[in-house]
Structure 1
Amino acid sequence: MVDKINPTSLSVQSLTSNFKPGALPVSSTDQTGVASTSFEDALQAQLGRPSTVRLSAHAQRRLSNHNITFGGEEAVRLEQAVEKAASKGSRESLILMDDLALVVNIQNRVVVTAVDADRRKENVFTNIDSVVLM
């Protein structure tokens, strides 16, 4: 048997009874001296994922073997592409940036493999659920 909820019986206490003080990490204090945390810190703590994209050992080898440098501007664009894919619910995404094709595990924020323009023509990309063009 399922009980129906009576809206008149709801109270602040019943709605907040599962609230656990201190569940979010505290990273600083604001001007009033009250402990606070940034939204990003709280979000990252709740999601349990790192805030930056990392390269797997395989992807690092691929980039270095083909003398491909991956600088700050590319890292920012990659981060933006990963955020776009994550916002759409992607799990494994092919990100096409300039002359690079990167397969990225969106949930773990890890570049699984990297393929340059010459080798990209010879490949079939499998096990991806989205493509991001940057």
Structure 2
Amino acid sequence: MGYRIINGQAFQVGNVGGLENKSSVNKKVNNEGDFKDILNKAIDKKEGYTLSKHAAERLKAMNFSENDMKNIEKGFKLAEEKGAKNSVMVYKDVAIIASVENKTIITAVDKNRAQSNVFTNVDSVVIL
């Protein structure tokens, strides 16, 4: 009797023509859920966006609804289509500073706080 190494794990080899423990090899090689889970995670990263802790606190204080968040997602798509990397999105009376590349809202500033502010490192403005 010998051993065959598959994916870093030793399996006993019985007969010359095959593996004695085929079912355990199939379980190791054929994890149906693994590839599907990885693919779904990759797809999820392409959709939606994330909020920084700072932005989440600000938007919560401004009473942003789920519908507002969906509209902001449209802004990300518009900016991405134009090749923007960092953008200011103007939505209602709020300036939202976002990294389009990372799909992250960095911060949000309402019009009362935005007076006399300068936004730097921004390559686009999206008006929603």
Give the TM-score of the pair, scaled to structure 2: 0.64
1:116 aligned to which of 107, 110, 119: 110
2:89 aligned to which of 84, 95, 108: 95
Residue 39 of structure 2 corresponds to residue 45 of structure 1: no
Larger Rg belongs to: 2
Q: In 1, Cα distance between the equivalents of 2:59 and 2:48?
A: 18
Give the TM-score of the pair, scaled to structure 1: 0.61
**Per-residue deviation, 1:125:** 0.6
Contact 1:50 1:108 in 2 (8 A): no
The structure whose residues are more often helix, as a share, is: 2
Residue 67 of structure 2 corresponds to residue 73 of structure 1: yes
Letter paired with 1:125: F
The structure whose residues are more often strand, as a share, is: 2
**Per-residue deviation, 1:108:** 1.3
Structure 2, unaligned stretches of length 5 or more?
A: 1-34
Q: In 1, Cα distance between the equivalents of 2:63 and 2:51?
A: 13
Structure 1, unaligned stretches of length 5 or more?
A: 1-24, 28-36
SS in 2 for 1:77: helix
Question: How many correspondences in the alignment?
Answer: 93
**RMSD, matched Cα:** 2.3
Q: In 1, Cα distance between the equivalents of 2:121 and 2:108?
A: 15
**Per-residue deviation, 1:59:** 1.1
SS in 2 for 1:131: strand
Residue 126 of structure 2 corresponds to residue 132 of structure 1: yes
Question: Runs (4+) of structure 1 moved beyond 4 Å?
Answer: none
